[in-house]
Structure 1
């Protein structure tokens, strides 16, 4: 006779993929019930730790654990590449913004330095701490990027979560009595998505059973440097059109177009899920682009910013659509069972740098 505790364990195990349950469910149920008095099983429940462990296993199984079905292997590859690409984009943006800000401040003499320091001083203690953390913590995106590519996964996860924390502060400001201007909450919400979706994807997809992270092309340092050159150049050449999303959107457009051209020249296939990953990142950047552009539509004299934002939007929409089409074709080819489709360009499970 099935006890209530067994029924509850089986209900929790339904979080796992069906293929995994067919092989392991009975063994797992026996393990969980081992040592529990049968007379007490109708009054017991799975512990919070057991539920969390099963949920984490379910995530690993669906994101490309060894032996996972083909569709889960593709999903895992796509989420890992999305996380890596997004972390690279955020790292480049954070470093370039702060380097240019410091360069401007310390090349304008005492007045420039005073203006820079004013952003951290003359406030109460809480606002000063928040200002310092908001300026410094995003630099951890660069730490997360290089740590991930050198297979220091725990450091990469902690760095990504730390770097994403400042995005939450604007949403908490109304609780302190500070009202946000009309339209800004939409941008703040998109900024939270742009920061936290990559951090969560990194934590979920780059688990201990996942293959080591690697770039589809180029070395980590050269790719990062190229991104900094593109982002910095876009800000220096068109400072009047630059808003908070200008540099990362430009960097994404150049990188995605370069990847499409690089992919068209390859004859041995591309990294599995790369097009889907870039399409997802493109949609995320497009959301932030539109949300950041909206408040400027009602600002007199902001024609250059509005024109630049509309131009980027006009490029991002077809580019994201093209990436989605390419990703759909890759998915169809992999679903059809093309030999090597999933494994092409991806390291074997269990490899380490």
Structure 2
């Protein structure tokens, strides 16, 4: 007869995918119940540690653990590629933006330099510390990118979580500051752009996952190319380059290249690559729309809104095409 505790364990195990439960559920239930006193089974409950362990196992088994059916393998590959592609874009942007800002600041004379340095000094120790942190912590994206591709997953997880922290500061300040955020939707989507890849990297690159690797090219060369495309998009159109412009422009170039490559060499395309880029494109499209929406209809903003909307249209089109390609990948599996 099924006891109440056994029923509770089976309820927790429903977090696992069906294929895993078919193979392991009975063994796991026997293991959990084996050392317990039969007279107290109905008064016991699964511990928090056991529930956390099952939750972590559910994530691993749904994201392409060894022996998983092909749909889960493709889903896991897509999640890992999404995290890797997003971290690459954020890593390039974290390097390019400070370099361009420093170049602009120190080639425009003493007044521009003093204005730049005033952002770190003269506002109190707390504000100065936060300013320094917002300047240096995003470089963690670059650390995470190279650490992940060299198999140092623990370092990559720590680095992405550290790098994503500055995106929370405007939201935390909005809670304590009576002055409302000027663009709350844009600030929120920027936080999502940082934290979704960070959390996905922590979840998808688990200990049972295959080593991270790029679909093509070496890590250094791909990173350099991403930096060049990101920087060029900002330098060529500085009047419209907001915080979303560089990563979104680089995504457009990369996604278009991926689509052309998959048409010419469909056998060489990474499993789940189209789905990964479709998810990243949707995320970037959300950020782009949130950035441009407050400027629609404002006098004098026509150049900015026109190019931003053109970029949004390109993101939307590529996201649709990648979604169709991703559905075909799943269907053929």
Superposed pair shares fold, TM > 0.5: yes
Is it true that 1:82 corresponds to 2:89 in the alignment?
no
2:300 match: 301
Tell me: CA distance 1:62–1:267, structure 2 relative to 1, closer, same or farther (3 Å).
closer
What secondary structure is seen at the aligned counterpart in 1 of 2:209? coil
Q: Deviations over 1:261-313 (max 9, x none)?
A: 22222152411010111011000000000001112225432222212201101
Tell me: CA distance 1:135–1:299, structure 2 relative to 1, closer, same or farther (3 Å).
farther
Deviates more, 1:199-208 or 1:303-312: 303-312
2:206 match: 207
The alpha carbon displacement at 1:316 in A equals: 1.2
What secondary structure is seen at the aligned counterpart in 2 of 1:159? helix
The alpha carbon displacement at 1:319 in A equals: 1.2
CA distance in 1 between counterparts of 2:49 and 2:299 reads 56
CA contact (8 A) 2:174 2:181 kept: no
CA distance in 1 between counterparts of 2:329 and 2:26 reads 36
CA distance in 1 between counterparts of 2:226 and 2:85 reads 11
Q: Which aligned pairs between 1:241-260 and structure 2 lie closer than 5 A?
A: 241-260=240-259
Deviates more, 1:205-214 or 1:37-46: 37-46
2:280 match: 281
CA contact (8 A) 1:62 1:76 kept: yes
The alpha carbon displacement at 1:255 in A equals: 0.8
Q: Which aligned pairs between 1:37-116 and structure 2 lie closer than 5 A?
A: 37-116=37-116
What secondary structure is seen at the aligned counterpart in 2 of 1:188? helix
What secondary structure is seen at the aligned counterpart in 2 of 1:41? helix
Is it true that 1:317 corresponds to 2:316 in the alignment?
yes
What secondary structure is seen at the aligned counterpart in 2 of 1:271? coil
CA distance in 2 between counterparts of 1:277 and 1:333 reads 17
TM-score by length of 1: 0.91
The alpha carbon displacement at 1:79 in A equals: 0.5
Structure 1 vs Structure 2 CA RMSD:
1.4
2:3 match: 3
Tell me: CA distance 1:178–1:89, structure 2 relative to 1, closer, same or farther (3 Å).
farther
Tell me: CA distance 1:31–1:92, structure 2 relative to 1, closer, same or farther (3 Å).
same
CA contact (8 A) 2:143 2:159 kept: yes
Q: Which aligned pairs between 1:326-345 and structure 2 lie closer than 5 A?
A: 326-334=325-333
CA distance in 1 between counterparts of 2:331 and 2:295 reads 41
CA distance in 2 between counterparts of 1:236 and 1:215 reads 27
What secondary structure is seen at the aligned counterpart in 2 of 1:42? helix
CA contact (8 A) 1:241 1:307 kept: no
Deviates more, 1:35-44 or 1:143-152: 35-44
CA distance in 2 between counterparts of 1:114 and 1:148 reads 38
Q: Which aligned pairs between 1:159-308 and structure 2 lie closer than 5 A?
A: 159-182=159-182, 184-266=183-265, 268-297=267-296, 299-308=298-307
The alpha carbon displacement at 1:237 in A equals: 1.2
Tell me: CA distance 1:230–1:166, structure 2 relative to 1, closer, same or farther (3 Å).
same
CA contact (8 A) 2:88 2:141 kept: yes
CA distance in 1 between counterparts of 2:112 and 2:132 reads 18
Off by >3 Å, runs of 4+ in structure 1 = none
TM-score by length of 2: 0.96
Q: Deviations over 1:49-107 (max 9, x none)?
A: 11000000000000000001111111001111111001001111111001111111222
The alpha carbon displacement at 1:179 in A equals: 2.2
CA distance in 1 between counterparts of 2:175 and 2:284 reads 28
Greater share of residues in helix = 2
1:144 match: 144
CA distance in 2 between counterparts of 1:279 and 1:33 reads 44
CA distance in 2 between counterparts of 1:7 and 1:108 reads 71
